[in-house]
Amino acid sequence: MSLRARILRHVLRALARPQIARTATPQDARPRFLRAARLMFRPPPLSLILPASGPVAGLWVQNQPRGDGVILYLHGGAYVMGAPETHAAMLARLACLSGFPAFLPRYHLAPEHPFPAAFDDALAAWSRLLALGYAPGQIVLGGDSAGGGLALALLGHLCRIGQAPAGAFAFSPWTDLTFTGDSLRENAARDPLLPAERVAEVRAMILGDPPATAPADPRLSPLFADFPGAPPVQIHVAETEILRDDSLRLQGPLPHADIRMAGDLPHVWPIFHNILPEARSTLAATADFIRACLAQSSAGS
């Protein structure tokens, strides 16, 4: 682990995690996340970040595109916060490294819009890309945290209806809202960012009152989904995260997935690409994966 990663871990543990633990409502958390993103995350030179036109709101992000494919990226934030703007800088770097643009849809957040609002919006974003002329094999799904779980839930649905994308990747995905992973308890004191004691509260916001579904619904917990004919999948997770087992157990429903476990890094560490060499390495590996998926899909079409 780099010196910068060790310093960042201590800063997050001292400042960010306590703030997340005591923030009263998602409405309080959302502007703080947006301000932090604007302060800490910068896109590389020559990046172009534009609002999406048409029926699905969001951002288009690109940096000298060199291919015909596209990344459909679903931002994280526990389904209650986050926005395309909080993740645009990271996607600009990934677009630069991969050579492909990214579309970040603006999906509805809980508790104002509980399940299945986010899933329905993700599916609408997929349909929007098809309407723009992209074939399924020209699209790579991606996401982080709740957005990573959402991307994998969308992947399962698309596999089941015969519209599998070229591939999918996720950073620290949240895939099990039944909370059966051992890491939720084993890493409760080790995770430098996420307070495990608040996950049940957040789940209640996502499910609504009364709950719209069971926590094991595969549209919400893709750990329990089927993935017939799945394309290549790459997952990145850190050993000390409370969501570690949400990734490792995906080897069951996705036996051919490339699941890469890092050391003591924060949740969704690639978003710290301006700070961490580990983040830049992970994004470079992800860019290689994206190019390989789209090249393989193009060769097979």
User: Which long-range CB contacts under 8 A does 87-91 form with residues at least 24 apart?
Assistant: 87/37, 87/144, 87/147, 87/271, 88/43, 88/49, 88/59, 88/61, 89/37, 89/41, 89/42, 89/43, 89/47, 89/273, 89/274, 90/41, 90/270, 90/271, 90/273, 90/283, 91/61
Q: Which strands sit side by side in the sheet containing 258-262, from one edge to the other? A: 48-51, 58-62, 102-105, 70-74, 139-144, 167-171, 233-238, 258-262
Compute how many other C-beta atoms are within 10 angstroms of the C-beta atom of residue 138.
20
Task: Look up 145 and say whether it is catalytic.
Answer: yes
Pick one of 1.10.3720.10, 3.40.50.1820, 3.30.360.10, 3.30.1300.10 as the CATH number of 3-300.
3.40.50.1820
Which of 47, 75, 85, 145 is labelled catalytic?
145
Residues 11-31 have pLDDT tens digits of 999 999 999 999 999 999 999
| pLDDT in the model for residue 301 | 66
d(CA 96, CA 284): 10
Residue 251: band (very low, low, confident or very high) from pLDDT cuts 50, 70, 90? very high
Residue 297: band (very low, low, confident or very high) from pLDDT cuts 50, 70, 90? confident
Higher pLDDT, 115 or 67: 115
User: Average pLDDT over the chain, rounded to whole?
Assistant: 97
Task: Look up 10 and say whether it is catalytic.
Answer: no
d(CA 187, CA 29): 23
Token pair listed for 123: 């599916």
Residue 247: band (very low, low, confident or very high) from pLDDT cuts 50, 70, 90? very high
Task: Look up 186 and say whether it is catalytic.
Answer: no
Which of 157, 267, 278, 297 is labelled catalytic?
267
Residues 157-201 have pLDDT tens digits of 999 999 999 999 999 999 999 999 999 999 999 999 999 999 999
Interior angle at CA 159, CA 53 and CA 230, nearest 5: 115
Non-local (6+) Cβ contacts of 6 within 8 A are: none
Tell which residue, 155, 156, 153, 170, has the closest CA to residue 220. 153
Compute how many other C-beta atoms are within 10 angstroms of the C-beta atom of residue 202.
19
pLDDT at 216 over 80: yes
| pLDDT in the model for residue 220 | 98
Backbone region of residue 77 per phi and psi (left: phi > 0; alpha: psi in -120 to 50; beta: other values): left
Q: Which residues pair with 237 in a beta bridge?
A: 261
Q: Is 34 exposed, middle or buried (0-12, 13-18, 19+ CB in 10 A)?
A: middle
Which of 47, 172, 236, 241 is labelled catalytic?
241
